[in-house]
Amino acid sequence: MPKAVEFGQDKVAKYPAVSAKQTEVLKQTAWKASELAREVHVEAVQENVSTNLIAKAEDTSLLTESVSDALGPPRRQPAEDTTARELVASLEHRIALYAADVQDFKDEIAPLAGKKVEGTGWFQVPYLLWVGGIAVAAWLVYTFGKIGLSVAALAHPAAGMGLAAVNLTGSIAGKMIKQLAVGGERFKEALGKLNLDEKVREMVLNTFRAEHKGVQDEDTQAVVKELTNKG
């Protein structure tokens, strides 16, 4: 239904993405781990250590190599003098920054929890169809009510007064609807002749719908007041 026109609205931010730098450090760390594990396995075999240690070194080499392959090679290999501790510290720092971004995102969307999201309703009714449906329902109530009062007016004078009130309301409502329809058509014709941006056009239409509804409410109240003030 028509809504107030707003300016400078906030937009829901996208879920934070992992930075390219964090991804690169992660790949470098995995690659370094794979290289060190391979070297340990080779040295274990050369040093002729126990079979149990050689098997564990081989398993570690296979696992780290698999993780590195899954992540993909880094764009640049870390410098030879870069230690494992330095890589781990750099990776942990990047992970902490990303976790802070995720928390900020959660804090931002928390106030929106439970609010309706436009355009996601399982059943959507266009504005003009909604207004038209209300008008048809009102016309049916008016028509059958008038028929009933016409029949009752033959036997009861009080019902005749009610029929007069219905006729008055129908006359005012008919005139009001006709004027609104003509005005609406002229408004759309004038709007179509203007070279407006799509967003501006939508803003103007939303404003028209809101004012349209407001005028309908005021006229309806005026009709009710006119009827209730009749002796």
Per DSSP, the residues of 92-146 read: HHHHHHHHHHHHHHHHHHGGGTT---TT--SS---HHHHHHHHHHHHHHHHHHHH
| Sign (positive or negative) of CA dihedral 11, 14, 16, 17 | negative
CA distances from 53 to 14, 35, 99 (A): 48, 18, 37
pLDDT of amino acid 145: 66
Compute the distance between CA of residue 227 and CA of residue 231 in angstroms, rounded to an integer: 9
Compute the distance between CA of residue 220 and CA of residue 223 in angstroms, rounded to an integer: 5
Give the position of tokens 């003030």: 229
- CB atoms near residue 165 (< 10 Å): 16
pLDDT of amino acid 159: 46
Compute the distance between CA of residue 231 and CA of residue 217 in angstroms, rounded to an integer: 24
Give the CB-side neighbour count of residue 56, counting CA atoms within 13 A: 5
> At 76, which amino acid appears?
R
For the chain, where are the alpha helices, taking DSSP H only?
A: 20-46, 51-71, 84-109, 127-153, 157-193, 198-228
3-state class of 77 per DSSP? Answer: coil
Per-residue pLDDT of the chain (231 residues; tens, 9 = 90+): 455 555 566 677 788 899 999 999 999 999 999 999 999 999 999 998 899 999 999 999 999 999 999 999 999 988 888 999 999 999 999 999 999 999 998 888 888 777 776 666 655 666 556 566 777 777 777 677 666 656 555 555 554 445 455 555 555 555 655 665 566 667 667 766 776 667 776 777 677 666 655 555 555 545 434 444 444
pLDDT of amino acid 228: 40
- CB atoms near residue 106 (< 10 Å): 11
DSSP code for 76: S
68, 87 in Cβ contact below 8 A? no
| pTM, to two decimals | 0.49
pLDDT of amino acid 111: 80
Closest to 211 in 3D by CA, of 186, 180, 170, 185: 180
Core vs surface per residue 54-76: b (16+ CB within 10 A) or e: beebbebbeebbeebeebeebee
